[in-house]
């Protein structure tokens, strides 16, 4: 194993293609440990505001986290695959901090294709380094969710969406989301054992901060793909719901961490094309 001191020196000399630093490791640990992806792709790119992406095995749902405070990357995009459980265990190697007000700092380093992902954790002067084997990333669905393609957007207080999700008929295989500049404006529908249920939110509701819908669009999404976002919803202050011209869904959660930093978690989900609508 490479001594920690050598690794620390290498990160300063440009030896690695990726170097990310996060002063409080708990931000990324809690976000990862709360979601249930088995094997995930990790994508870091200079073109998307320091994003780390995690893609589920079915290639139909993607979680993005905006986490690094400082980072250096030598290429436009580097992609690799790791075992998420191994990453979560390494991030929690110190367990709960025994020193009030002190949380481990994290540095992640990646040399390039075939190299392990190296994690350096430091707490109260104690240094630990871990190496996680990386694999070549599988070809995944290109979500390519850009602002230019967004046709409908609603920003709302999270408690409104939490209430809606808590009352959804979970026997339904899908959740249908309708967004429109015309009535009913913003509708959630389920089709379960209790029949068809609709929940409408008026565009002038006190819970809605921004309503920007330019086209009537109704799409269905598999309920099982949306369930992992419930924990993020429970911690969020605000939620942005966006759909693009392909019907892809983006749920962005604004969350204030324990150390009063603002971070964003995004879920991307493709529409269910197996269901034909009349």
Four-way CATH pick for 4-132: 3.30.70.20, 3.70.10.10, 3.40.50.300, 1.10.3430.10:
3.70.10.10
3-class DSSP state of 29:
helix
CATH number of 147-269: 3.70.10.10
According to DSSP, the residues that pair with 108 across neighbouring strands are 20, 119
What gap in Å lies between CA 187 and CA 90, rounded to an integer?
42
User: Where exactly does CATH 3.70.10.10 map onto the chain?
Assistant: 4-132, 147-269
Per-residue pLDDT of the chain (278 residues; tens, 9 = 90+): 344 444 455 555 467 777 777 665 555 555 555 554 444 556 554 444 455 665 555 554 555 655 555 667 677 677 788 887 788 888 888 765 555 566 678 888 888 889 999 999 888 888 899 999 998 877 665 667 778 889 999 999 999 999 999 999 999 999 999 999 999 999 999 999 989 999 999 999 999 999 999 999 999 999 988 988 888 898 899 999 999 999 999 999 998 877 677 778 888 888 997 554 44
Q: In what order do the strands lie in the sheet with 217-222?
A: 195-201, 186-192, 174-179, 217-222
Burial class (CB in 10 A: 0-12, 13-18, 19+), 143: buried
Query: Are 88 and 40 in contact, with CB atoms under 8 Å apart?
Result: no
Helices (H), the chain: 4-12, 26-33, 84-91, 158-166, 223-226, 230-235
């Amino acid at each position: 194993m490479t001594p920690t001191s050598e690794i620390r020196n290498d990160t300063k000399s440009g030896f690695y293609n990726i170097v990310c630093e996060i002063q409080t490791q708990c931000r990324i640990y809690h976000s990862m440990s709360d979601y249930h992806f088995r094997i995930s792709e990790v994508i870091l790119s200079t073109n998307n505001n320091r994003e780390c992406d995690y893609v589920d095995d079915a290639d139909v749902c993607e979680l993005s986290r905006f986490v690094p405070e400082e980072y250096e990357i030598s290429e436009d995009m580097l992609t690799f695959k790791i075992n998420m459980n191994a990453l979560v265990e390494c991030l929690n190697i110190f367990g709960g901090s025994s020193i009030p007000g002190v949380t481990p700092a994290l540095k992640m380093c990646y040399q390039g294709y075939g190299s392990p992902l190296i994690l350096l954790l430091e707490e109260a002067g104690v240094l630990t380094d871990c190496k996680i084997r990386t694999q070549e990333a599988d070809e995944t669905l290109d979500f390519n969710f850009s602002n230019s393609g967004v046709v409908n957007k609603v920003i709302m207080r999270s408690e409104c969406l939490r209430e809606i999700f808590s009352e959804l008929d979970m026997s339904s295989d899908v959740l249908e989301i309708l967004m429109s500049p015309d009535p009913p404006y913003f509708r959630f529908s389920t089709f379960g054992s209790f029949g068809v249920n609709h929940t409408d939110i008026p565009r002038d509701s006190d819970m809605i901060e921004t309503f920007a819908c330019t086209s009537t669009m109704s799409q269905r999404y598999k309920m099982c793909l949306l369930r992992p976002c419930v924990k993020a919803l429970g911690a969020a202050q605000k939620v942005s719901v966006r759909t693009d011209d392909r019907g892809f869904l983006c749920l962005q959660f604004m969350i204030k961490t324990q150390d009063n930093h603002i971070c964003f978690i995004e879920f991307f989900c493709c529409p269910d094309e197996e269901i034909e609508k009349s």
